Amino acid sequence: MAIKIVFLDDSSTILKVLTYTISDLVQEGIIEVETYSDSQTFAKLLKDEAIEFDVLFTDINMPEFSGYDICALARSIEKYENHIIIAITTEISKASKSKGKELGFSGWITKISAPEVMRSKISNIIRLLEPKGAKS
């Protein structure tokens, strides 16, 4: 069964880069990817428990609902409280990371990382979720 990944970012360019970066994993059937660019719509899906995912990668700085808001909301809903939520952001300050940790982010990837670095980090997370004996 494929691992379900969701990318949430208000930049369509970033969403395209992220999905392209891991497109081979999609083609191999290792992961399924959904993308969302509207944090308000995504927040409603969370509140309604109408979205399924194993890992959520979210931007921090978005209109309407920030990635911090999305993480806090997900952690307040029993269905999502233990899901992996990773920030993908340009925010690199210790204060930003500390706030993210307090709110329940599982990890942090900077957007300024080269695509191969981002892919490596995403692949490492996927490997943690793969059933034993599966290959990536």
CA dist 36 and 61 (Å) reads 14
Report how far Cα 106 is from the mean position of its chain's Cα atoms.
10
CATH topology of domain 3-129: Rossmann fold (3.40.50)
What pLDDT score does 89 carry? 87
pLDDT value of residue 116? 81
| 135: pLDDT strictly greater than 60 | no
pLDDT score, position 82: 93
Q: What is the mean pLDDT of residues 17-31?
A: 90
Q: List, for residues 86-128, the tens digit of each pLDDT value.
A: 999 888 889 999 999 999 999 988 887 777 887 888 888 888 8
- Calpha distance 19→34 (Å, rounded): 9
Tell me what pLDDT residue 129 has: 81
- For residue 40, pLDDT beyond 70: yes
> pLDDT-based confidence at 136, cuts 50/70/90?
very low
Confidence class of residue 1 from pLDDT cuts 50, 70 and 90?
confident
| Chain length of the chain | 136
Closest CA to 126 of 28, 31, 18, 29: 31
Identify the DSSP state of 70: H
* CA 68 remoteness from chain centre: 12
Global pTM value:
0.90
